[in-house]
Amino acid sequence: MPKYLAPHLQPLVEYRDGDILISVPAKSGTTWTMNIVHQLRSGGDPDVNVYDDVPWIEYRERPDQTDEELLERWKAMPRDVPRAFKTHSAPGGPFLKYMENVKYVVVCRNPEEALVSFRHMIMNHDPRNWALWNTPMEEAKETWYRDDFKTWYHEVGLKFSPPGAPPIPGGFQTLFYWSFIAGWWPHRNKPNVLMLHFKEMKADHEGTIRKIADFLGFKPTEEQWPKVLEYTSFPWMKEHGLQFQPGYKTDAPMLLPDTMVRKGATGDQAADGMTPEIAADMKEWAKKIVQDEAAIKYIYEGGPIPPDA
C-alpha cells in the first residue's frame, strides 16, 4: 500500500455522538460525498478544502507526522456542528466498527467502473509525493504502474497484499469492493445508515443532496440551497479540482492536477480498459467472497435495498 495510509488510526479516534462517517470504497464517489456533506453542513462553501474539512481517518500527511498530532487535531474540531470523516473501510474488518451513536453515509459503485478508475488514480500520483514517502519512482512504477488495464489487473490488481500480510484472495477488488459490501450489507437498514448507489446519485443530483440533508438533519435556507447544489456539481468540482485532493497546499500533493475529480461517469469502464473476460473474472471473485446474491446485485446495479432476511 502507499506509505501514507494508516488504517490503524480509525479505532483510535474518540468518536462523538452525531459524528458522520462517509464510508465509500476507493473511486466510488468518496470525494463527491465528502463535499456534499460539507456543503450541506456549511450552507455552501466555495473555499472548501475537503481534506481539512472532512478528514480522512486512514491518512498521514507526511512521514514524521505522529498519530497524536492527528488525533488531537480531530479532537479539537468544533463541537457546534457534527464532525465528518472519510473512510474506505467497512464493519467486519480489523479497523472500523459499527457504532450506534454516529451516522453513516455509505456509497457503492459498480466495481468495474471503480477499479479502472483506481488504476488511473494510482498511476497519476505526483512524483513529489512518492519522493516525500521515500519511494523511488522506479520502485513505484514497478509496483503500481502498467501500460494497460488488462496487464495491471493480472500483475497488480489480483496480486495485491498489504506489507507483511498474506495475499488477499482477489487482491484489490476484494479489499475495496467485495469486503466492503459484505461488511455493510447486514447494516443496510439500520436507522443510522444511509446506503446510496453512485449511479442513482448521478441520475438525480438534487434529489440525492436533499436525501442526504434529510438523513443528516441539515436544513439549508432557501438562499443557501442554490449554492449547495452548485458547489456539489461535477462541473464546479472539476473547475476547482485542487481543493479536492490531499495535500494540495503542500509541496508534495498526492496527485497530479486534474486527476482526483476525473470523469464522474457511469457505464464507461470499457473505454478505460475493462474487458468482458476481466468483468467475468471479477463476478466470480464476488461470488466467492460475498454470500448474499442481493448484495452483489446492489453493488453492481443499485436499486431498492431489500429488507433484512
Q: What is the pLDDT of residues 62-85, one digit of tens each?
A: 999 999 999 999 999 999 999 999
Quote the pLDDT of residue 266: 82
Q: Name which of 73, 39, 40, 42 is nearest 56 in CA terms.
A: 73
Cα distances (angstroms) measured from residue 44 to each of 121, 175, 299:
28, 34, 30
Q: Name which of 94, 117, 150, 55 is nearest 255 in CA terms.
A: 117
pLDDT digits (tens, 9 = 90+) for 137-179: 999 999 999 999 999 999 999 998 776 777 889 999 999 999 9
Residue type for 172, please?
F
Percent of the residues in the chain that have a pLDDT greater than 70, as a whole number: 99
Question: What SS3 class is residue 40?
Answer: helix
Residue type for 174, please?
T
Q: What is the pTM of this model?
A: 0.96
The rounded distance, in Å, linking the Cα atoms of 33 and 24 is: 9
Q: Are 174 and 78 in contact (CB under 8 A)?
A: no
Q: Are 106 and 24 in contact (CB under 8 A)?
A: yes
Neighbours of 67 (CB within 10 A): 12
Question: What SS3 class is residue 59?
Answer: strand
The rounded distance, in Å, linking the Cα atoms of 303 and 246 is: 32
Neighbours of 284 (CB within 10 A): 10
Give the three cell numbers for residue 204. Answer: 438525480
Question: What SS3 class is residue 116?
Answer: helix
Quote the pLDDT of residue 97: 93
Residues in Cβ contact with 94 at an 8 Å cutoff, skipping those fewer than 6 apart? none
Quote the pLDDT of residue 267: 80
Neighbours of 175 (CB within 10 A): 21
Neighbours of 178 (CB within 10 A): 25
The string of DSSP letters for 91-151 reads: TTSSS----TTSEEEEEE--HHHHHHHHHHHHTTB-HHHHHHTT--HHHHHHHH--SSHHH
What is the pLDDT tens value at each position of the chain, 309 positions in all?
788 999 999 999 999 999 999 999 999 999 999 999 999 999 999 999 999 999 999 999 999 999 999 999 999 999 999 999 999 999 988 889 999 999 999 999 999 999 999 999 999 999 999 999 999 999 999 999 999 999 999 999 999 877 677 788 999 999 999 999 999 999 999 999 999 999 999 999 999 999 999 999 999 999 999 999 999 999 999 999 889 989 877 888 899 887 777 667 788 899 999 999 999 999 999 999 999 999 999 999 999 999 998
Q: In the β-sheet with 20-23, what is the strand arrangement from edge to edge? A: 84-87, 20-23, 103-108, 193-197
pLDDT digits (tens, 9 = 90+) for 120-142: 999 999 999 999 999 999 999 99
Q: Are 13 and 71 in contact (CB under 8 A)?
A: yes
Strands (E), 122-219: 193-197
